[in-house]
Chain A
Amino acid sequence: MSDAPAARAVVAGHGSFADGIVSAVGHISGRSGALRAVTNEGCDAAGIEAAIGRALDELGAHVVFTDLPAGSCTMAARRLARARGGVTVVVGASAAAVLDFVMGEAGANADAVRAAGRGRESLTVFEATGPARGD
């Protein structure tokens, strides 16, 4: 039986966003080999697309998590998905969503859909109950 995680994905975003998500999920799950980080820093649109494509190929993955709907990584991932086919793009990634994904065993697309739901459910606000102490 292979030790390689079943669910693998590329995480792409602004600055060090992807490194942080990959680091956090690796520490929690122990499945650091399941993810590859891509940053948009210093890249034009074609450069980001190429970097995501290389990361998918190196990992043998078919899922890309990106940070923002209007982000250049999302644009690049969607262009790549259209050109290649068979690539799922999840926009609005969080540690909760990516963590859920890497623990999945249902197949890339199903794991991605479930993980996106988990990410939505995890976003919670505990509102302030009064003024800050000392005010």
Chain B
Amino acid sequence: MAIEQFRIDDRLVHGQVVIGWGQPLGLTHLVIVDDAMVENAWEADLYRMATPPGMTLDVESVASFAAHPQPLDRHLGAGMVLTTNVDTMRRLVEAVPGIRTVTIGGLHHQPGRAPSLPYVFLSTEDIANLGALAASGVAVIAQDLPGSTPVPLGDLVAAGGV
């Protein structure tokens, strides 16, 4: 089964991911794509220890993920890729053909970001990167949990006031 979930979430592996999405989708593997974490074994182990039984976690850079012979078809079960920011997801989409949908699961308040939803705050740079993703044919939505209504990028930007 291919990796079909691509989530931008500044908390990466947490309850919404392993329980909220993990159980209904039957996720069996997570991949954090983060160039800095690849060099930080302690951070990677922190997330591995938080991964529940029955689910595996890989930590990769954009380059190593893209270099895999079949980057989206490497596991037998359902998978999710996580990045902590929009820029990394944009670089991943540019490097790996076949990513059709990107979901913003959580981008919380930081200086320079304006609120679009209670769990989505966007900067002008974020909006530019998300716009580039959409222009390349990728569907961009915000959805924190499976039961939430997906919010398309246009509505996020309209609500953002950046």
Contact = CB atoms under 8 A, between A and B. Distances in A.
7 contacts: A42-B118, A42-B119, A45-B12, A47-B109, A47-B110, A69-B49, A71-B50
Interface stretch (A26-34, A75-83, A113-121): A75-83
A94 interface: no
A45 B51 CA distance: 17
Interface range on chain A (Cβ under 8 Å from partner)? 10 to 19
Interface of A: 14, 40, 42-45, 47, 68-72, 74-75, 78-79, 82
A44 B110 CA distance: 8
B108 A47 contact: yes
B14 A79 contact: no
A71 B46 contact: no
A73 to B, nearest CB: 9
Q: Identify the interface centre among B106, B108, B118, B119: most chain A CB within 10 Å of its CB.
A: B108
Nearest to A68: B15
Nearest to B11: A72
A52 to B, nearest CB: 14
Nearest to B107: A44
Contact of B109 (A42, A68, A79, A82): A42
Contacts of A78: 46
A70 B27 CA distance: 15
Contacts of A82: 42
B110 A75 contact: no
Contact of A75 (B18, B50, B118): B50
Given A14-B15, A69-B50, A70-B13, 12 more contacts: A42-B109, A42-B118, A43-B109, A44-B109, A44-B110, A45-B10, A45-B11, A70-B51, A71-B50, A72-B14, A75-B47, A78-B46
A-B CB proximity, top 9 nearest: A44-B108, A70-B50, A44-B10, A72-B14, A72-B11, A70-B18, A71-B15, A45-B11, A43-B108
A135 B102 CA distance: 47
